[in-house]
Amino acid sequence: MLSKSQAKVFFLGGTALFSAIFLGLTIDTHRQMAERTNEQNLTESVIRGKKIWEDQNCMGCHTILGEGAYYAPDLTKVVDKRGEEWIRIFMRDPQAMFPGERKMVKYDFNDQEMDDIIAFLKWVGEIDTNGWPPEPNIKTDTIPGTRNVNAGPILPEAAEQPAVAEAPAKFKSLCVACHQVNGKGGNVGPSLDGVANRFNREYLVKWLRDPQAVKKGTTMPKLPLNDQEVESIADYLMTLK
């Protein structure tokens, strides 16, 4: 048992110690804030985008940096994940991209407002968040061309069956929003079943690099893919016979 005066010292000492730690961490955070948020990139457009974000209450459904409501996907890294073009097309008519799913409001933003929203989301995505959000543990059995990693070990009989090619990550996050494979995915663009019979690999690589260059006026956007991603997606497409 502590005596009354020991308890007092314990309480005051503890309060002082933890206040000091709290203050120290707060100062440390403020010291890093400008750098970690890339304060120099806070343009007028980003600021207008933030205002639209607030006025339209996007937080009523979405989170950024973990804050907001959990009805709709977190948008912290959405520009990285989807690309600017995809977001533009999606926002113009969200239902067309995900028919029959949860509803995102159709806002009639003009070009400038759209630029501002994207500038804001891009800025948010570049904040150094110490690795947050972590890679999601997505259940992959609902995504075409993937195997549920939680489904347990592959049984010997199963392993002998011809392997279904694993769709590259970018395919699962970008392409299925607009294209179906095996009846799963969006229907903005044509189904990709049998695409290997319609095009050769060389054509597909060109198409993925820049659809506009192949077919002027096409509504398929140029997506943010690096060379390696283009190659691996082309390899995967060539398995869709």
* Residue closer to ligand HEC, measured from CB, 42 or 177: 177
Phi and psi for 21 in degrees, rounded to 5? -65, -45
Least distance in Å: CB of 141 to ligand HEC?
Answer: 18
Of 54, 77, 82, the C-alpha closest to 65 is 77
CA 139 to CA 146: how far, in whole Å?
A: 10
207-237 as b/e, with b when 16 or more CB fall inside 10 Å? bbeebeeeeeeeebbbbbbeeebbebbbebb
- As measured in angstroms, the least distance from the Cβ of 105 to ligand HEC is 5
Contact 67, 133 (CB under 8 A): no
Q: Which of 64, 175, 181, 240 binds ligand HEC (CB under 6 A)?
A: 175
Per-residue contact flags (x/-) with ligand HEC for residues 83 to 112, judged by CB under 6 A = ---xx-xx-------x--xxxxx-x-----
Question: Which of 190, 200, 212, 228 touches ligand HEC (CB under 6 A)?
Answer: 190
* Shorter beta-carbon distance to ligand HEC: residue 31 or 215: 215
* Contact flag: residue 195 with ligand HEC (CB under 6 A): yes
Dihedral sign for Cα 86, 84, 87, 98, please.
positive
In angstroms, what is the minimal distance from the CB of 59 to ligand HEC? Answer: 8
Beta bridge partners of 184: 181
DSSP letter (8 states) at residue 93: -
Establish if 119 lies at the interface with ligand HEC (CB under 6 A): no
Q: Nearest-CA neighbor of 186 among 203, 171, 168?
A: 171
- Give me the residues that bind ligand HEC (CB under 6 A), please: 56-58, 60-62, 71-73, 75, 78, 81-82, 86-87, 89-90, 98, 101-105, 107, 117, 171, 174-175, 177-179, 188-190, 195, 198, 204, 207-208, 215, 218-221, 223, 233, 237
